[in-house]
Chain A
Amino acid sequence: EVQLLESGGGLVQPGGSLRLSCAVSGFTFTNYAMNWVRQAPGKGLEWVSAISTSGSNTYYADSVRGRFTISRDNSKNTLYLQMNSLRAEDTAVYYCAKKEYHRTTLWGQGTLVTVSS
């Protein structure tokens, strides 16, 4: 069964850090670029970051560039998002997603990150 399982979300204070993980199964992880997409409560989707198959190329939205770092461990079939200097506006459900060319073909169920004191 094809599955993307996010973990690592939770409550963190402003200025704090959190690392999200996404464990992938059911397809050849090394063949696909990956995305992180987030959705603030009651709001729309926002593309956050993307990474190439090897991890050598990474891309970020202006809103997170310099604070978030995307990475992957192809030996563990796992995608990561290191989030530093977190702000209230980073509060959202974070989705891990499989990228094929210029489309996102498969999404995880998401993990909630809440930034609050």
Chain B
Amino acid sequence: QSALTQPVSVSGSPGQSITISCTGTSSDVGGYNYVSWYQQHPGKAPKLMIYDVTNRPSGVSNRFSGSKSGNTASLTISGLQAEDEADYYCSSYTSSSTTYVFGTGTKVTVL
């Protein structure tokens, strides 16, 4: 099972909005509404930011939002802040034998 495809890096200035894409296939992203997004700061464990494509866990800022179109899911961060600088990974349920697959990861830089 191949990893989902994400851009290597995305950057933006404070206050701007950025969008990270996550492209898979009809066997994973396109076939199920089970896409999650995780934030990881250096040396730290990942943190769940979005689940089931659009849902935000309690405690996660509403500046984070998720969407999906076809085989591509997206994470949008609005009102970019310095603390949003981190690595972001998408993940999806997959009908292949591996069950779950992560994206390649995107480094977000706040300029």
Residues of A within 8 A of B (CB): 35, 37, 44-47, 50, 59-62, 65, 95, 101-105, 107-110
Pairs A-B, 3 closest by C-beta atoms? A102-B34, A103-B51, A107-B45
The number of chain B residues touching the other chain, given as a range, is 20 to 34
A110 contacts which chain B residues (CB < 8 A)?
Answer: 45
Of the residues A45, A62, A65, contact of B102 by C-beta under 8 Å: A45
Q: Is the CB of A102 within 8 A of B36?
A: yes
Q: How far is the CB of A32 from the nearest CB of chain B, in Å? A: 14
Compute how far the CA of A107 lies from the CA of B93 in the bound complex, rounded to whole angstroms: 18
B1 contacts which chain A residues (CB < 8 A)?
Answer: 61-62
| Given A47-B98, A61-B99, A102-B93, 15 extra CB contacts under 8 A | A37-B102, A44-B102, A44-B103, A45-B91, A46-B102, A47-B102, A61-B1, A65-B97, A95-B45, A95-B46, A103-B51, A103-B52, A103-B91, A107-B47, A108-B45
Task: State the main secondary structure of chain A at its contact with B.
Answer: strand
B93 contacts which chain A residues (CB < 8 A)?
Answer: 102
Compute how far the CA of A46 lies from the CA of B38 in the bound complex, rounded to whole angstroms: 13
Q: Is the CB of A109 within 8 A of B45?
A: yes
B100 contacts which chain A residues (CB < 8 A)?
Answer: 35, 47, 50, 102
Q: Is the CB of A45 within 8 A of B98?
A: no
Does B10 lie at the interface of the complex (its beta carbon under 8 Å from any beta carbon of A)?
Answer: no
Residues of B within 8 A of A (CB): 1, 3, 32, 34, 36, 38, 40, 45-48, 51-52, 57, 89, 91, 93, 97-105
Please name the residue on chain B nearest to A35 by beta carbon: B100
Q: How far is the CB of B99 from the nearest CB of chain A, in Å? A: 5
Please name the residue on chain B nearest to A4 by beta carbon: B45
Interface centre among A35, A47, A62 (most CB of B within 10 A): A47
Compute how far the CA of A101 lies from the CA of B51 in the bound complex, rounded to whole angstroms: 10
Q: How far is the CB of B98 from the nearest CB of chain A, in Å? A: 5
Q: Is the CB of B99 within 8 A of A45?
A: no
Q: Is the CB of A107 within 8 A of B46?
A: yes
